[in-house]
Structures are given as C-alpha cells and as structure tokens.
Amino acid sequence: MSVLWAPWRMEYILSDKDKKGCIFCIGDDRTGYEERLILYAGPMSIVMMNRFPYNNGHLLVAPVRHTHDLGGLSSEESLDLILTVRKAVEILREEMSPEGLNVGLNLGKAAGAGVEDHIHFHVVPRWNGDTNFMTVAGEVRVIPEHIRETYKKLKPYFEKF
C-alpha cells in the first residue's frame, strides 16, 4: 500500500474554525506577512496565498478595505483591485508557467464564498492533467509543492510590485 503524506493539513484539521476576525483585514500592523502568507499589501489591495489551495500557487486578491460586495468599492479601489489581479496573473505565468488560469469571485455563501464578508478574487494556476481521481474518489487534493516553497518562489516578484 502507498502512503500519501500531507502533514501541513494537520494545521487545518486542528484549527479553530470559529476563529474571529477577517483573514484579509491587515489593519495598521503590517507585520507577520510571511506567517499570514501575504505576498503583497498595497494601499488598496492585498495578495495572499490560499492556505488551503485548490492547486499550487492558488492566490487570493482582496481590497484592503473590508467590504462584502463589489458595489462597496470606490472606482479607484475597483481599478486597483483588478490591476492587482492582472499583476498576480502575470507573476504566476512568469514563475509557474501554467497552461491556464482560473480567475474568479464568489459573491455570497450560495455562490461558494468561504469568506462572505470580504470580497476576494481567486487566481488559480492550472495545468493539463492537474485534476485526477483523488479529488473525485477520496475528496483529497494532491498539491505537489509545499505552500511555503511556493511562497518563497513568488515573494520576490511581489516585492518588485
């Protein structure tokens, strides 16, 4: 029998699922970026890695200001957010060479939003054949690289941003 090791999942299994606070709200204390997997924090938008990704390099792009709907953003914030999404796509293409990308926004719980109160885009690099029987048969995702390694690869690109 083969063994599939995924020790980083234990953090999720043992985590407090009812934890208070918003993962996207960085506040005035802009420290601890690496621990929080924040790759970029500008005046209006942030980019962070999804701690429980669908695929390698799964990024989350959110406005700095806490809002639950696109209508809650100013025109300037909206422009900054979409330009940050565009930059995240460019960086993933350059560093990870995906064959495609999923870019999306889930508004509301019924649409699949895991964090309903703070809008955020998902930017997910994709490769032909990156889906397999594990997700269908075992409800398990196979991520071929540890999230901290991916963070180290992407961080220098976002430092230039």
Give 12's contacts (C-beta < 8 A, 6+ positions apart): 51, 52
Share of the chain above pLDDT 70, in %: 78
| 39-43, 70-74, 126-130, 131-135: segment of lowest average pLDDT | 131-135
Task: Check whether 61 has a pLDDT greater than 90.
Answer: yes
Tokens encoding 76: 């300037």
Locus of tokens 């200001």? 65
In a domain, 12, yes or no: no
Residues 61, 77: contact at Cβ < 8 Å? no
pLDDT at site 3:
57
In a domain, 137, yes or no: yes
Residues 101, 125: contact at Cβ < 8 Å? yes
Pick the catalytic residue from 68, 120, 122, 146.
Answer: 120
Task: Check whether 139 has a pLDDT greater than 70.
Answer: no
pLDDT at site 107:
87
Q: How many domains is the chain partitioned into structurally?
A: 1
**120 annotated active-site:** yes
Q: Residue 82's domain spans which residues?
A: 30-160
Helix (H) or strand (E) holding 100: strand 100-105
| 46-55, 72-81, 82-91, 128-137: segment of lowest average pLDDT | 128-137
In a domain, 15, yes or no: no
Tokens encoding 54: 């669908």
pLDDT at site 65:
93
Start-to-end CA distance of the chain, whole Å, equals: 46
In a domain, 3, yes or no: no
In a domain, 24, yes or no: no
Instruction: Tell me what the mean pLDDT of segment 44-54 comes to.
Output: 92
The whole-chain average pLDDT of the chain stands at: 85
Render pLDDT for 16-26 as a digit per residue (tens, 0 to 9).
Answer: 655 667 888 88
* CATH number reported for the structural domain that contains residue 61 in this entry: 3.30.428.10
pLDDT at site 23:
85
Residues 120, 61: contact at Cβ < 8 Å? yes
* Dist CA 107 CA 95 (whole Å): 29
* Dist CA 20 CA 22 (whole Å): 7
